[in-house]
Structure 1
Amino acid sequence: MRKLLAGCLALCIPALLTAQTPADSISRTEAIDSVVVTARRPLMVYKQTGNIAVDIEQLKYAPLFAGEKDIFKFLQLLPGVSAGKDGMSGLLVRGGSNDQTLILYDDVPIYNQAHAYGILSIFSGETVQSAEVSKGFISPAYGSRLSALTQIRTREGDRLNHRQSLTVGTLSLAGTLDGPIKRDKGSYLISARYFFPEAVLAIADNDIRYGFNDITGKLTYDIHRNHTLSLGVYSGDDHMKNKEDHAENGFGWGNTTASLRLESRWNDNLRSSVVAYYTYLQNRQETEFKDDGFSNWGKTTFKTHEFGARMTFDQRLSRVWSLEYGATFSHQRFEPMHTKSIINGQHKDRGYSSELLVSGALFLNNRFQWGGWRADVGVRGAAYDNSEQTRYAVEPRAQLSYDFGRDNSVWLSGTINSQALVQFNRYYYSMPIDFWTPFRDGRLQHAWQVSLGGRAKLHENLTLSVEGYYKRMRNLPLIYDSDDFLLNNGGFIYGTGRAFGIEAMLQYQTERLSLTASYTYTDSRRRSDGVTYPFEYDVPHDFNAFVSYDVVKRPGRKHTFSLNVAWRSGLPYRLTNESYPDTDGNPIIGITAYPTMRMRNYFRADVSYNMERRKRNGVRNWQFSIINATWHKNPVSIYPYRGSYKATVLIPIMPSVSYTRTFGK
């Protein structure tokens, strides 16, 4: 009898567990404290085939530059993405320059993403929720750049509990507060950073001052169960001063952004998002000279303003067909160079004329999904007006992919992009005093690209992704005289560009180990005035590897060792053997319009050790890092020195330590 009863229970209990739950019992739930997932996640996650997202959680294990968690350092590990020069926070994608990558921070365009002369990005690791890069197929909802789209999202504050965190780094101090405005209805987030070498230098009575600070804030509130309103703000500023006998020189730059977003869910098949934003970039140079009653003062500013709005609808029409459609609008004002000065008591005010650009676009994307197939077929129609001319661009885009299951897929895409903006770097080396202007002579920059890729699971824990691309560009301005360019007197010529390459990424995951290795072969050329030359950021071979291993992993405690290795070909450089004497008779070697040589190959290895421990009321984290642990001298620039060449090295070996204490659940 007992055996019969046990057999009945063995058969009945699984059936009861899989049976449908009565409607009156659906609302009964049980709360648990937490769920811990011990499996390591991959560092890079493919979303919609060619688009890649970064696992933000692993950012805390990456080697820190001066104690700062920098999401851009992770994005630069992607195949096909380069930082440019050593330590820079640029994103140069598939033969494009930094200004050809559209960087959106909560859907707000960012015109300068750099702190500390490009060494750090403005995006604090404490506030970033997600980061995604689109290199091949770009949704028709986004445009105005030739190469790529990077989307950074700020996380919301916790809706249930108040939390606080404090981070003390080698050179910076950061604090974050977040929590509910009204429980389960809304939240707040505020985070601030201060780069404190400025204070140390002031105490030491040093003649050089440098520092930066920034603040990020976000408010989110459900004004209705189907409508959520959020307000985001960011403000940051870098400043440097150098005092000499009777003179004081200064640089500075900063971003200010604000956005208001309304997310709506109208029914199960229709969602919408409406965003209004403002973004502002200002760069400045200031000089003052005083001597025996004689005084000169001058300040030069470069400003960029943009107001804009975006409306997007996502509608499911059937089981296999969805639409994404909407419109964008922006109004941009550029003040490329304006100088105020006082010379011998006389006030002077001069500068180049400000310029306007008004842009608008309509977009539509058809998304079809059936079985393992997915097809995106869309178009973006844009209009650009610079107060003198109006130009139109039609940008068809399409992608076809097939998912075999178990992380095996292939995809093919074709994209056409246009760009109405021109960025000019006043210095060949990395300096923040750059300016933006609208298109000239009625010519928009254009690019088309095709790419073919696939992803295969080679083993239970091992995946390989490979993608090849070919890209053509035209109407690329090469500016050789900034004054003539800003006065509309020429000063530039148009050129073309082409790039092709193969990108591969290998990822291996176990419970304790995470490994990501990427390799890119690329060939990027430009042609201007009948001359074909390598693009100034052309890197034929680029290898990156990031590995992290949990040395200690038990409940409430984890120690993680991380290693980041980068090797790539040297960058092209513009120097000539011709020289001329300066006022002291020393030779000055000229800079040519086109690259004539390459720097030596680049290599850097960074290591870190992270110690995380859960406390009764939060988490404590120590991290020790060594940037450029092998002390490899990677040149950033080359300059003439006593009839020969000498290189500037920006990042020597650089140890750092960071302490983070988080309070709250």
Structure 2
Amino acid sequence: MRFLIVLFVLLSSLLLNAQVVVSGYVTDKTSGEPLIGATIYEESTKKGTTTNVYGYYSIALSGDSAILKFSFVGYGNQRFQFALNEDIKWNVEMDPFNELNEVAVNASQSSNIQDETQMSSIDLSMDKVKALPVFLGEKDVMKTIQLLPGIQSGTEGASGIYVRGGGPDQNLILLDGVPVYNASHLFGFFSVFNADAINSVQLIKGGFPAHYGGRLSSVIDIRMKEGNMKEFHGEGSIGLISAKLMLEGPIVKDKTSFAISGRRTYIDLLARPLIKAAAEDQGFGGYFFYDLNAKLNHKFSDKSRLYASGYFGNDKFYATLNDEYVDNGTTYSYRFENQLKWGNGIAALRWNYLINPKLFSNTTLTFSKYNFVVGFSEQDEQISSTGTESQEFSFQYLSGIRDYSAKVDFDYTPHPDHYVKFGTGYTYHTFTPGVNTFRQEQGSTVEIDTTFGATLINASEFWAYAEDDYKITTRLKANLGAHFSGFIVNGRTYLSFQPRASVRFMLNENSSIKASYAQMAQFLHLLTNTGIGLPTDLWVPPTDTIKPQYSTQYAIGYAQTIAKKYELSVEGYYKKMTNLIEYKDGASFFGNQESWEEKIEVGEGMAYGAEILIEKKVGKTSGWIGYTLSWSNRTFENLNFGETFPYRYDRRHDIGVAITHKFNERVDIGVVWVYGTGNAVSLGTERYLSYDAAFNGYYWEGQEIEHIDSRNGYRMPSYHRLDIGVNLHKKMAKWERTWSFGVYNMYNRQNPFYLYFSYDDSGDRRLTQISLFPLIPSFSYSFKF
């Protein structure tokens, strides 16, 4: 902490001349929602700043007067002149404009890509998310992110995120600043983020600012809506598989607001009659997921604000089978139940306090949990003239992680050429890496009631950081910082110092070159068994034998705004990762004779490639085209004979096209086309029976084993598809409705989901492909009021 105080004092000494500070909040005029990343620009000195994630800005100016220009993409610019006699508090409410007005295009270019120090970062528009066609009509932030360069989607239809050769555990997914450990619904086909509840999304793939830490590959920073401070509004939709509703409005106008949204699938309700008929009324089953977002926002004053937010969601698959019959006067009854469920819960309480116009503080208390449960129970009962006999047994497997965290963050703007962030925090982790419970009853007697498997592990994590976004000259700007973190588990302490640097040099008014360097440390591991297809992920900490993950990433790029409408970015990157873990051949989360540490291998990874993105953000036609050329490899001493092999989601070529066009206020369309090199998979070249001594050495009693020449040595066929969607809007007197129609996989491409060897009628072995999703139409009805 002494380092942070010294840095604070040194930066304060930059104030050599008396300056006047203009500060305040920039919000949407119609709703009061903060505008994150709005640009504030002083016309004569060319000095500027941006709003933080709460819409706050501060700029120190000298001289007698100044003209400030406020701008944000999708909103009309505002311009104000100030006499610089004393500090000024100036809140700005901005009007959204009609993007069909082409005159507004030039006026909306507020923060051009070539001006920003940060590279490998993309801000995602929620309007774009809602306009693009999606799988089964379910608007999904994570599916839209998959269309961006450097992002792999994993398997067909899944919402997984694999960034620049990293695994799913290497993504720091934040919802209102709280980590979300499992972002998937419906076995990965949808994400947990309800688009109606989200205000902004930022993706960072490299050059990470120092205030982020804890993961190796990416940060996905999602902010929920704070609630309309002006008027009560709502929106909702009904689609093929789910319905959702969002309500927001003021509790006390311009002082206290709320936002609450909920979503639930009704697949189980629609399918229940069919399942019962198929089971002849002897059983039923189903699957559903639901989630709930809520947020309260209270303004004590211009200096003090309080936010409370939360998310809770669950997936549940269940099946029940009943049977009863009578034989020789004895009634036999049987009941079998099984369930599979997983879910997240998070909560955050944050307090913003403006210490002075230059120093903004944010204090946060958070809670996060993820649980996975699979289990079954069986009941048998016999009723006869001599009495009743019953037997019951049950089994349950539980894994998860639970966090309690506190942190304080500061934004400090001593001078227009400096934007400083610093802070510190602490998290208390509780890991449940696979706990089993077994219970057996005979009549009224409990014969077995036991818990076995891995035990709970408690750990502490702490961190501190400081960074400065520093304009060195008119052409040269840098973000320099460091992140220090530590992890304490089972008496062992791991420490990590992680320097970060991003540099931007302006070639001319419209173009720049950028470079970045970042060291990252990750104190969590995720054990994933990709062959099961279920969310059986085990979050585990480092131990005496398993060290934290580390990575070093270098990136260099070029950015340009073309004709004031198009943004071009070209980036190359190289990333080295160490202390990665994978299951040993044949191991999984099943089987508890061994601890999880004995089931894994430790190795390293390397990823490198190039990305190109061309984007148009405003106008009738908008969207992007992205291309990725990449390599991702893994090396484990005891896997693949110690030879380097491609990562499962290594994809040489990847193309994502996402275009929307607005014909008028009533009709718009969206088109998505994706192409990717096939995933790398392991396929057996031979198959033979194993010897099993437990069955007296009879070979036919053993298991069939496949011989694999090389790990991930075979490529699936390439993946590509076309999606098209149309949205039809109609404004009524007090509300607006939208019909959305879409087609997923327009030309019915049979994309590979799974490959296996089978035998034809003549006994010859052949490779068989399983494809999941053909051409799938969808529709939904949504409304706003």
TM-score (norm 2): 0.77
The alpha carbon displacement at 1:132 in A equals 0.7
Tell me by how many angstroms 1:340 deviates.
2.1
Corresponding residue for residue 289 of structure 1: 378
Q: Cα 1:477–1:28, aligned 2, differ >3 Å: closer, same or farther?
A: closer
Q: Does 1:371 align with 2:483?
A: no
**Residues 652 and 588 (structure 1), Cα distance of their counterparts in 2 relative to 1, 3 Å cut:** farther
Equivalent residue, structure 1, for 2:304 = 227
Contact 1:581/1:587 (<8 A) preserved? yes
CA shift at 1:268, angstroms?
A: 2.1
Deviates more, 1:482-491 or 1:93-102: 482-491
Q: Which residue of 1 aligns with 2:426?
A: 329
Q: CA deviation at 1:80?
A: 0.4
Alignment equivalent of 2:779, drawn from 657, 660, 663: 657
Contact preservation (8 Å) 1:451, 1:467: yes
SS state at 1:493 partner: strand
Contact 1:248 1:287 in 2 (8 A): yes
Letter in structure 1 aligned against 2:312: S
Match of 1:304 in 2: 401
Q: Which moved more, 1:465-474 or 1:340-349?
A: 340-349
Q: Does 1:563 align with 2:671?
A: yes
For the 8 Å contact 1:67–1:172, the answer to whether it is kept is no
Question: In structure 2, what is the Cα distance between the partners aligned to 1:514 and 1:406?
Answer: 23
Instruction: Note if contact 1:416-1:446 (Cα within 8 Å) is conserved in structure 2.
Output: yes
User: What residue number does 2:727 align with?
Assistant: 610
Q: Is the CA contact 1:384–1:420 (under 8 Å) kept in the aligned structure 2?
A: yes
**1:337 deviation in Å?**
1.4
The two structures, once aligned, show a CA RMSD in angstroms of 2.9
- State the match for 2:745 in structure 1: 628
Q: Distance in 2 between matches of 1:19 and 1:475?
A: 54
1:360 aligns with 2:462: yes
The answer to whether the 8 A contact 2:514-2:556 is kept is yes
**1:7: which partner in 2?**
none
SS state at 2:137 partner: coil
* Structure 2 residue identity aligned to 1:284: V
Query: In the aligned structure 1, how far is the partner of 2:623 from the partner of 2:606?
Result: 32
Partner amino acid, structure 1, of 2:151: V
Change (3 A) 1:398 1:22: closer
2:26 maps to which residue?
none
2:453–2:595 contact (8 Å) kept in structure 1: no
Contact 2:527 2:582 (C-alpha < 8 Å) held by counterparts? no
Contact 1:588 1:640 in 2 (8 A): no
1:280 aligns with 2:369: yes
What's 2:627 paired with? 519
- Does the 8 Å CA contact 2:685/2:709 hold for their aligned counterparts? no
- The equivalent of 2:247 in structure 1 is 177
Q: Which residue of 1 aligns with 2:98?
A: 36
* 1:540 matched to 2:610: no
Would you say 1:168 and 2:230 are equivalent positions?
A: no
1:575 counterpart = 2:664? no
Q: Which of 610, 613, 620 is the aligned partner of 1:505? A: 613
The answer to whether the 8 A contact 1:197-1:210 is kept is: yes
Q: Is the 8 A contact 1:633 1:652 kept in 2?
A: yes
Distance change in 2, residues 1:30/1:434 (3 Å): closer
Q: Any conservation in 1 of the 2:453–2:592 contact (CA below 8 Å)? A: no
Matched ranges for 1:63-74 at <5 A: 63-74=133-144
Is 2:119–2:516's contact at 8 Å kept on the other side of the alignment? no
Shift of 1:243: 4.4
> Which residue of structure 1 lines up, in the alignment, with residue 71 of structure 2?
none
- Distance in 2 between residues matched to 1:205 and 1:423, nearest whole Å: 35
- CA distance change for structure 1 residues 591 and 87 in 2, over 3 Å: closer, same or farther? farther
- Which string of whole-angstrom CA distances, capped at 9 and with x for unpartnered residues, describes residues 203-257 of structure 1? 3344440111111000000122211110001111101123467643321101011
Of 428, 451, 476 in structure 1, the residue corresponding to residue 531 of structure 2 is 428
In structure 2, the residue corresponding to 1:89 is in which secondary structure? coil
Query: Could you say if the C-alpha distance between residues 584 and 209 of structure 1 is closer, same or farther in structure 2, counting changes exceeding 3 Å?
Result: farther
CA distance in 2, matches of 1:352, 1:517: 47
| Matched residues, number | 639
Q: Is residue 244 of structure 2 the alignment partner of residue 203 of structure 1? A: no
* Deviation per residue, 1:326-358 (Å, 9 max, x gap): 102111111111222233533332231111221
Q: In the TM superposition, what is the alpha-carbon distance from 1:588 to its structure 2 partner?
A: 6.0
The residue type equivalent to 1:242 in the other structure is A
What CA distance in whole angstroms lies between the structure 2 residues aligned with 1:200 and 1:428?
29
Secondary structure at the aligned position of 1:126 is classed as helix
SS of the aligned residue for 1:117 comes to: helix
**Conservation of the 8 A alpha-carbon contact between 1:114 and 1:120:** yes
Instruction: Show structure 1 runs of 5+ residues with no match.
Output: 1-17
Give the Å deviation of 1:158: 0.5
CA distance in 1, matches of 2:91, 2:486: 53
Contact 1:178 1:188 in 2 (8 A): yes
Of 590-599 and 133-142, deviating more is: 590-599
CA distance in 2, matches of 1:126, 1:639: 40
Q: Partner of 1:464 in structure 2?
A: 568
Query: Is the 2:203–2:219 Cα contact (8 Å) retained in structure 1?
Result: yes
Alignment correspondent of 1:477: 581
SS of 1:517's equivalent?
strand
User: Could you tell me how far apart the structure 1 residues matched to 2:319 and 2:579 are?
Assistant: 40
Task: Return the alpha-carbon distance in structure 2 between the equivalents of residues 315 and 22 of structure 1.
Answer: 23
Shift of 1:451: 0.2
Name the structure 2 match of 1:490: 598
Counterpart secondary structure, 1:73: helix
CA distance in structure 1 between the aligned counterparts of 2:583 and 2:510, rounded to whole angstroms: 46
CA shift for structure 1 position 426: 3.4
Separation of aligned partners in 1, 2:294 and 2:436: 33
Residue 196 of structure 2: SS of its match in structure 1? coil
Please point out which of 99, 106, 110 is paired with 2:180: 110
In the alignment, the residues of structure 2 paired with residue 575 and residue 241 of structure 1 have an alpha-carbon distance, to the nearest angstrom, of 33
Q: 1:174 to 1:593 in 2, by over 3 A?
A: farther
Per the alignment, residue 258 of structure 1 pairs with 347
Q: What SS class does the counterpart of residue 160 from structure 2 fall into?
A: coil
User: What TM-score results when the alignment is normalised by the length of structure 1?
Assistant: 0.90
> Is the deviation greater in 32-41 or in 445-454?
32-41
Q: How far off its partner does 1:30 sit? A: 14
Kept after mapping to 2: 8 A contact 1:485/1:491:
no
Contact persistence 2:119–2:502 (CA under 8 A): no
Report SS of the residue matched to 2:270. Answer: helix
Select 2:768's aligned residue among 643, 646, 649. 646
Of 369, 386, 396, the residue aligned with 2:489 is: 386
Is the contact made by 2:197 and 2:225 (CA closer than 8 Å) also made in structure 1?
Answer: yes
Match of 2:196 in 1: 126
What SS does structure 1 have at the residue aligned with 2:554?
A: strand
Distance 1:249 1:652, change over 3 A: farther
Quick one: structure 1 residues 647 and 406, their matched pair in 2 at CA, closer, same or farther if it must change by over 3 Å? farther
What residue is the counterpart of 1:444 in the other structure? 548
1:446-468 deviation line (CA, Å, top 9, x unaligned): 11011001112343433321000
Displacement after TM superposition at 1:32 (Å): 11
Q: Deviations over 1:150-173 (max 9, x none)?
A: 101101111010012221111111
Inter-CA distance 110–405: structure 2 relative to 1 (3 Å threshold): farther
Partner of 2:67: none
1:125-148 deviation line (CA, Å, top 9, x unaligned): 101111111111111111111111
Query: Match for residue 158 of structure 2?
Result: 88
Contact 1:479 1:485 in 2 (8 A): no
Cα distance in 1, alignment partners of residues 377 and 486 from structure 2 = 44
